Chain A
Amino acid sequence: MFLQLKNISKQYHHRNGTAINALSNVSVTIEQGQFATISGPSGSGKSTLLFTMGGLLRPSSGNIIFNGQPLHDANDITLSEFRKNHVGYVMQNYCLVPYLTAEENVMIPLSLLQKDKAKQKETARELLATVGLSDRIEHYPKELSSGQQQRVAIARALSNNPSLILADEPTGNLDPSLAAEILSLLKRLNEEKGITIVMVTHSPEAASYGNIQIQLKDGKMADAHLSLAKEVLV
């Protein structure tokens, strides 16, 4: 199994002492090469589930196993290594470093993996070419459109050659045509490179890109099924 979450619960503790259940006993299994989408109303725990999968959040209880490696009780170093080596992140707000050029932003994860600057540069340029930004390598994020910024974020997510890309509302800030472009790009990466993609989305159209669609409601699994099976039933 590529990524398995068993009975994951996550509670947030408010300052006034009350506990909020963001996730309750959620169990999901994702196989390598799948494109999974997580949908649900606001506050249903979509992002919490995604961040837990990505080693960004520790669950209050339950187990997370990635390629046989337990992550639920891992320390900071192990989680950092996991994120550095295996995961690429694409976020709604792009999360680009504002004072670095497109090329430098893509080089950040590369700097953790290799010391050769020339090689880092070469890889970054190749990745930016892959997302169609060869002519924007020296541009700062503020000099790029929303779609271009998201493509830089995708190039950065690809820079560590990840087996898993976690995308949190990657099209949330984009107009429909740009959103379709980004979704197509993610789908292409999934199909051509075999990268497993887990994407949180509000949009039914975006959710339809997934071959596993996970529905959350009030922190609980509402539905999860293979789109292929759904199509057969229809």
Chain B
Amino acid sequence: MNLFNLVWIELLHRKGRLVSGLTAIVLGISVIAAIRSVTVFSERAVAVNLDNLGANIMVLPQGATTDDYYTADIDAPTFPEDYVERIVSSNLQGVDNLSPKLTRRIKVGKDNFVLTGILPANEVASKPLWQTVGLMGAEVKASCAPSNSKNQSLGYKDERLQRKTIDSLGVSDCYIGFIAAQKLSVSEGSDLTIENKKFKVAKVLPETGTVDDGRIFAHLHTVQELLDIDHQLSAIEIMGCCNAISDGLLSKMRNILPDTRITTIGQIVSTQIQTNNMMNKLSFIFLIIILLVGGISIGNYMWANVNERRKEIGTYRMIGFSQSRIYTMLLMKAVILGLIGGVLGYVIGTLAGMILGPQLAGISVQPIFTLFFVCVLLSVIISVAGSLIPAHQASRIEPYSTMQEI
């Protein structure tokens, strides 16, 4: 017989009360586990969708503006192509993809177009509409979002979530924007002469409603050679992890490329950061509510338990239990309740998330094993915190409380 035996026997003796006490904490922890499981997988799905908004960081030549990049004037400044290698070799966390570009305004026939040189292996065909015309390639590894294979293993079927690079674009091939194709009256397979060089239209891109509709895309090195701007770039579009951007990715990049202008594509980044912040705040709000409700519930149970056991605690005190021993006994009970509640809460919450996640949120939810330890720890903390005052009250019970009226 030791203190643990006494606590354990008492818990089992009052099974009904044990169930009601545990219910409060199990429900609380289940809700946390379910919400957290769904939130984590939702965040990943949201991260994928946010990444699909495209590049969110732009590296431009010093003194250039984004307008210069989009208008692609003949004398727009450039910077060396090896800047791409500098970023790659720096192993910066949160840089998911680099897309170097050289853009120049050119004349084809009577009309002006923007000719954009892209590196096929690096260019992200992130726009879902581009993929509808079959622009598929190697998978992009993203630090914000799970990999494509991970997405598939999680059951994502949405093609838009499969981010790909264009892995082949011949030196004499070009993709042509929707409006540009209409103006030039060309279709897939047509020949197109640009600056005296003959190109074959490999794809007519679907209408996107962006500047891409008026552009002609060709291999970067072909464009550099054609325009006689060897090894130079107009810009590097970067898909950066929005969390990394929040954590100072831009300033790290500025240290690597001091003679460039590095900016974010504000709308995209702010949407990404706001969405992530909102998700985090929602989780935090739920956590606070559960902590309060769980703590109060378990405190209420312990309070009732102490009142019910006044004579019994008085007996323990009479026999020689000190105040601190009674206090320890009650807190030990709270820890046991917390441990059981945490384990059950995690199992029930995770199962609820796995069942309800796909049905209600359209996402596949898998068990998060690290959440188990969080649930158990949180449950013990809630249980002990809620029991502090009842345990103190119990320790104050006088040893003569067990006796007849005096």
Contacts and interface: CB of A to CB of B under 8 A. Distances in A.
A75 to B, nearest CB: 10
Nearest to B12: A99
Contacts of A35: none
B311 interface: yes
Tell me whether chain B's interface is mostly helix, strand or loop, or mixed: helix
A189 to B, nearest CB: 18
A112 B3 CA distance: 9
A169 B317 CA distance: 20
A interface, how many residues as a size bin?
35 or more
Contact of B319 (A47, A109, A117): A109
Given A120-B1, A168-B403, A98 B320 contact: no
Contact of A168 (B3, B315, B404): B404
A47 B320 contact: no
Given A56-B399, A100-B9, A115-B2, A108 B316 contact: yes
A48 B6 contact: no
A109 B9 contact: no
B323 interface: yes
Nearest to B10: A99
A108 B1 contact: yes
B319 A99 contact: no
A51 interface: yes
Given A80-B322, A85-B320, A109-B319, A91 B1 contact: no
Contact of A76 (B13, B319, B322): B322
Contacts of B324: 77
User: Which interface residue of B312, B320, B402 has the most chain A CB atoms within 10 A?
Assistant: B320
B402 A83 contact: no
Interface residues of B, number: 30
B320 A112 contact: yes
Interface in A194-231: none
Contacts of B325: 80
A111 B406 contact: no
B318 interface: yes
Interface in A81-134: 81, 83-85, 89, 91-93, 95-100, 104, 107-112, 115, 117, 120
24 contacts: A22-B406, A47-B403, A48-B406, A51-B406, A56-B399, A77-B324, A80-B320, A80-B322, A81-B320, A83-B320, A89-B319, A91-B318, A91-B402, A95-B311, A95-B314, A97-B312, A97-B315, A99-B10, A100-B9, A107-B1, A109-B320, A111-B6, A115-B2, A160-B320
Interface of A: 22, 47-48, 51, 55-57, 76-77, 80-81, 83-85, 89, 91-93, 95-100, 104, 107-112, 115, 117, 120, 156, 160, 168-169
Given A80-B325, A98-B13, A99-B9, 15 more contacts: A22-B406, A48-B406, A56-B318, A57-B398, A57-B406, A80-B323, A81-B322, A85-B320, A91-B318, A93-B403, A95-B403, A97-B312, A100-B6, A109-B320, A156-B319
